[in-house]
Amino acid sequence: MENSSTQTENVQHIWCSVNITKKMEDVFIGYILNQAQIGANVSEYVVYLSTTGGSPFSAVNLYNFIKSIPQKTTVYNMGNVYSAGVPFFLGFQNRYGVPDCDFMIHQTTLPRTALPENFNVFDIDTQKATLVAIDDKTQKIIQKETVSRGSTSLTLPMIKKAFINTTVYQAVEAEKLGFLDKIELPKLPDTGVLYITDQYLATLPG
């Protein structure tokens, strides 16, 4: 009888080089949920991430989703993880970065379309409260996910100041502050990689 411990683990690799959007969120989460539905028995998800940011709401959803799945999760910063990409990145159990990677954090911005064509003080106050709330949530995620990993801890006041100033952390500093566990180049497999790119998303409805 074959010992289950000797069976090859099913590691799924995902290359993700897109902005964080609702469509990207749906595709990413949908793929992982579908793997469970078809009985793929995935033991680990390895994500190669590069993003200039996007929707802070989708970023928090992705963070909570990654934290909730039972599989082992690993992520690589393949060059830049900015803005909304940071909380998504920090949701993974194992976090690595290529030698020249960096992270960028700043205050949350919303598109002009967030306000109606004709708006009043209530609309402005609502959007202001939304911006404050998402900033607070993102800052707490950063503090929580870095505090025990780096040789130097980021406090909430330090993170708030970094948000206001729009701050970029290069790889060595990011490792020191706990964004990264290690700086190293990954080895992508020759086959079996799902590529979530702008070109791929353009082929999908929605």
- Domain with 126 in it: what CATH number? 3.90.226.10
Q: What pTM does this model have?
A: 0.90
Alpha-carbon distance of 42 to 173, in angstroms, equals 33
pLDDT value of position 7: 52
How far is the CA of 151 from the CAs of 40, 105, 176, 177, in angstroms? Answer: 38, 20, 5, 6
> Is residue 74, in this structure, part of any structural domain at all?
yes
Question: Which phi-psi region, left, alpha or beta, contains residue 118 (left: φ > 0; alpha: ψ -120 to 50)?
Answer: beta
Q: Is residue 2 situated within a structural domain?
A: no
Closest to 49 in 3D by CA, of 7, 87, 106: 87
pLDDT in tens for each of the 206 residues of the chain? 444 444 568 999 999 999 999 999 999 999 999 999 998 999 999 999 999 999 999 999 999 999 999 999 999 999 999 999 999 999 999 999 999 999 999 988 777 676 677 777 877 777 778 888 889 999 999 999 999 998 999 999 999 999 999 999 999 999 999 999 999 999 999 999 999 999 999 999 87
CA torsion sign for 134, 73, 171, 177 is positive
3-class secondary structure, 44: strand
5, part of any domain: no
The alpha carbon dihedral of 50, 199, 27, 130 has a sign of positive
DSSP codes joined into one string, 158-177: HHHHHHHHTEEEEHHHHHHH
- Quick check: is 6 in a domain? no
Three-state SS at 35: helix
Q: 192: domain range?
A: 11-202
Using CA atoms, how far apart are residues 139 and 93, in angstroms rounded to an integer? 19
Give the C-alpha separation, 140 to 33, whole Å: 27
Indicate whether 67 belongs to any domain.
yes
- Whether 148 is covered by a domain: the verdict is yes
DSSP state of 98: -
| Per-residue model confidence (pLDDT) at position 2 | 43
The answer to the question of residue 4 being in a domain is no
CA 12 to mean position of chain CA atoms: 17
As for how many domains the chain has, the answer is: 1
- What integer pLDDT is reported at residue 3 of this predicted model? 45
